[in-house]
Structure 1
Amino acid sequence: MGRVVGRETAAGAGAAGGWVRFALAVQAVYKRAPRSRLRRGTLPLHVRVRDLSCKCPKIKINKSYLILGVEKEGASAGVSGLAVGERTLLLEWRDEWHRRVRRLQRRAVNCH
């Protein structure tokens, strides 16, 4: 879960490559790979320009989102941080989800 705290306005290297860069404050990591570098804190979130133009996903500044996807998706696209790809779900966070996600996380520990 993370909060989008800003958007890069200058046309930098990310915009030229078809990506828009957001600043994401990661608040909680519920599940990650053993060698994952994903931690709490601020990191870049990259979204393709064509996805933003059709408002899919519609990203709002200062809103929290649950991001479901594969961390390697950004590395394979050649961008640092997280990338929202075709197989990534970006859902606006609802406070009532916190207990449910924690419960699913506890259940996943027992499944190997």
Structure 2
Amino acid sequence: MVERRGVGEHGMKLPGGERQRIALARSLLTRPSPLLDEPTAHLEPVNEAALHRAVDLISTECALLVIAHRYSTVQAADHIIVLNHGMVVTAGDHRELLATNDYYKALATGWFSHPSSDLRRG
């Protein structure tokens, strides 16, 4: 049986994570956006995993620029640009940066220490 509930005008009765998930799904399905700003910020783990799968699929057809602080999002990227106070510190893929850059390694260590957080250093 399908449960029906009012979502309100523009989905205002939905929780923030649900509204974000619907907005992301609509943008990815209708026309992939070249920019996703903190796409997983308010998603539960199961929805975050689904979004990662969708982004992986879409990224085979176009380039995506994803701004993220969550480790799970960052480590999955093909190319990472690390910023500190608006300046580029380093760039590369996750494994390369862990092996060669102390600043990125410190960020990753912080993520490992607090896996549920989205650490913002600066």
TM class, shorter-chain normalised?
A: under 0.3
Larger relative contact order, structure 1 or 2 (CA cutoff 8 Å, min sep 6): 1
State which structure, 1 or 2, has the greater radius of gyration over its C-alpha atoms.
2
Question: TM-score if structure 2 supplies the norm length?
Answer: 0.23
Which structure has the highest helix share of the two? 2
